[in-house]
Amino acid sequence: MGNRARLFGLVAGLTLLAMGCQQAQPRPQAGSGGAPAGNAAASGAAPGGQAASSSSGPTRVTIGVTETIESQNPYADSISLGYGVWCEVLGCLMTFDPQTRAYKPELAEKWEVQEPNTWTFHLRHDVQWHDGSPFTAADVVHSFNRVKNDPTSKQKHNLANVASIEQLDDYTVRMTTKEPTASLLSYLADLFIITSKAQYDKFGPDQIDRQPPLGTGPYMFKELVPNQRLVITKNPNFYGGKVEGPDEVVYRIMRETEVRVTALLNGEIQIAQFLPPHLMDRVNSAPNTKVVSTDSQEIMFLAMMPKTKPFDNKLVRQAVCYSLDRDSIIQGVLMGQGKRLDGPIGPASYAYNPDFQPRYTYDPAKAKALLAQAGYPNGVDVEFYTPVGRYVQDKQAAEAMTAQMNAVGIRAKLVTPEWPTLWADVQAGRTPFYYMGRGSVNDPGPAMSQYFETGVSPRIGYSNPQLDAMFEKERASFDENARKKALNDEMSLITEEAPACFLWTINMLWGMAKNIDYTPRPDLRIFASDIRVR
């Protein structure tokens, strides 16, 4: 190697090192704001790129998320992140307000049910697409048809109960359901995404999803880099007035928990979704970050299939429920980050009744007695299935439950198949006894029906004509109070009959920079307009 080559190598090496380490200093404050898009580097972005804080410049918040939006087609996937983002960027008829547990008008300003199967939605007159063209009922009908007929749609189930839609005038649409569906709004709110008919007609089915999608919401689409990030930016002409959230929000895909936490502490992101309880202290003890805990709408339960022995006997099912010390598992395994369920649902769901009396308190003696009464005085052997890594501390919680059941004579053998196998078996009704969660229980009607109504799903295979009649009555109860009562009657009977033991909801933990004010929603949607930067 000649001297010149050596010198060149040295210079090249030093240049690369300098490039790698430039601006490489720890940031004292994990904040947001700074340079607008495209100027972050020039304005002195730190590695990992959060723009430097600025009191006067535009604000940008980066959120480390676990799900990924891969396509500009809002109907091609069915994930919580996507529903929230597309609802806020493109538009949706209404949203669910977790504080009031009521539906909040968005593109539809009001709605009414004329007959049990007919719903009329009155749309706002003052809404424009981001290109200035008017939003009308034709867009709603077009969106309905895309959900139903787009070959890539994964959202058909949301509109499965709706038989047809018709445009009554420019600002009124009518939906006809297949049967009375009092919970219809729970299938539409945040879930039925409205897209522009004119844009679709202009580009056609092959090209439409390669275009930046046009919306009506408080934020506008800016950039999608598949499997890396999605960027949205504030809509200055939003029909709802001034948008209070940050100027730009970047959703960065980071599936690894450790990476999200490091990025948060490093100031690369300002909000980190889903932290496990064991990392709480690390985030809380850092000077500029905090953990925010929120209720979940995901109910965790033990399912017992009544068509299989020994769960064909109600007393055995109840014995299982009495054998579990749920409070100790919440404290010990979930590190206090959970709420005990006394009935099927928790406080984050519609129709939650705080006066619901705890039915199954921890009572091993009663569990043993029930087991003996059921004809198993010497105990019984069962196989108990649990997912691993699907839910927070799932295997550990299942191990704790196994020990508690064994103590009363329910000799459970823990089986831990990988998720696709377990889920396929559960869906096909091949798993008699399993630990599972059911998410998105915003309105409990559909979830209860799915698991406990005769013939709806083989997941538990429970059948009870009395309960079926109650479901039918509840679906036709359009008066809010009557429906809430009907739902609570259903849930009382389910709890008593115990085809499942309802265990807990697991609090969702979010890491945040201290200068961010944001209350995460129990339904996992992230609405940028809810975020405030101090």
Partner 1 sequence: MTRYLVRRLVGTIPVLLLVTLLVYGLLHLAPGDPASLLLPEDATDADVAEARARWGLDKPFYVQYVYFVGNALQGNLGRSFRFAQPVTELIGSRLPATVELAFFAVLIATLIAIPLGVFAGARPDSATDNVGTVFGLFGISMPNFWFGIMLILLFAGVLHWFPSAGRSEYGVAGQTITGFYFVDSIITGNWAGVADAFRHVVLPALTLGCALAGILMRITRSAVLEITREDYVLVARAKGLMNRVVLWRHVLRNALIPIVTVVGLELGTLLSGSIIVETVFAWPGVGNLLITGVTSRDYPLVTGIVLMYTVAFVTINLAIDAIYAVVDPRIRFQ
In the list 54, 57, 58, 76, the residue contacting partner 1 (rule: CB under 8 A) is 76
Segment 100 to 129, residues that bind partner 1, using CB under 8 A: none
Window contacting partner 1 (CB under 8 A); options: 23-31, 111-119, 211-219, 232-240: 23-31
SS3 call for 419: helix
Smallest distance, partner 1 to C-beta of residue 40, A: 4
Contact 193, 86 (CB under 8 A): yes
- Asked whether 397 and 333 are in contact (CB, 8 A), the reply is yes
Residues 377-416 that bind partner 1 (CB under 8 A): none
The C-alpha atoms of residue 279 and residue 263 are separated, in whole angstroms, by 13
CA nearest to 339, candidates 352, 326, 349: 326
Tell how strand 271-272 and strand 60-65 pair up. parallel
458 near partner 1 (CB under 8 A): yes
CA separation for the pair 393, 372 (Å, rounded) = 32
> Is position 37 an interface residue for partner 1 (rule: CB under 8 A)?
yes
Taking CB under 8 A as the criterion, which residues in 145-174 touch partner 1? 151-152, 154, 156-157, 160
Span from 34-42, 96-104, 195-203, 523-531 in contact with partner 1 (CB under 8 A): 34-42
Q: Report H helices in 137-208.
A: 137-149, 184-188, 197-207
Q: What is the dihedral of CA 309, 311, 316, 318, to 10 degrees?
A: 180
Please, what is the minimum distance in Å from the beta carbon of residue 54 to partner 1? 14
- β strands within 200-324, DSSP E: 219-225, 229-234, 248-253, 271-272, 289-294, 299-304
Q: Cβ of residue 406: shortest distance to partner 1, in angstroms?
A: 28
Antiparallel, parallel or unpaired: β 248-253 and 60-65: parallel
In the region spanning residues 418 to 447, those forming contacts with partner 1, defined by CB under 8 A, are 418-421, 423-425, 427, 438-440, 446-447
Q: Provide the residue type at 39 as one letter.
A: N
Q: Provide φ and ψ at 108, rounded to 5°.
A: -95, 125
Tokens of 405: 């059941």
**Does residue 5 belong to the site contacting partner 1 (CB under 8 A)?**
no
Binding mask 265-294 for partner 1 (x = CB under 8 A): xx-x--------------------------
Largest Cα span, the chain: 92
Of residues 296 and 440, the one with the C-beta less far from partner 1: 440
Of 292 and 436, the one with the shorter C-beta distance to partner 1 is 436
The smaller minimum CB distance to partner 1, of residues 135 and 435, is found at 435
Hey, what are 445's tokens? 């009607």
**Which residue's CB is nearer to partner 1, number 176 or number 421?**
421
Q: How far is the CB of 481 from partner 1 (least distance, A)?
A: 25
Regarding 204 and contact with partner 1 (CB under 8 A), the answer is: no
E strand map for 246-288: 248-253, 271-272
Q: State the minimum distance, in angstroms, from the CB of residue 453 to partner 1.
A: 11
Cross-strand pairs, 435: 302
307 three-class SS: coil
Residue 478 as a binder of partner 1 (CB under 8 A): the answer is no
When binding is defined by CB under 8 A, the residue of 2, 3, 5, 38 that contacts partner 1 is 38
Within residues 42-61, the interface with partner 1 by CB under 8 A covers 42, 45-49, 51
CB of 434 to partner 1, least distance (A): 13
**Smallest gap, in angstroms, from Cβ of residue 527 to partner 1?**
20
| Shortest CB 13 distance to partner 1, Å | 10
Q: What are phi and psi of 227, to 5 degrees?
A: 65, 10
Cα–Cα distance, 105 to 94 (Å, whole number): 5
- Answer yes or no whether residue 228 interacts with partner 1 by CB under 8 A: yes
Count residues near partner 1 (CB under 8 A).
76
CB of 470 to partner 1, least distance (A): 20
Is residue 307 within the footprint of partner 1 (CB under 8 A)? no
**HSE-up of residue 174 (Cα within 13 Å, Cβ side):** 11
Instruction: In angstroms, give the least distance from the CB of 157 to partner 1.
Output: 4
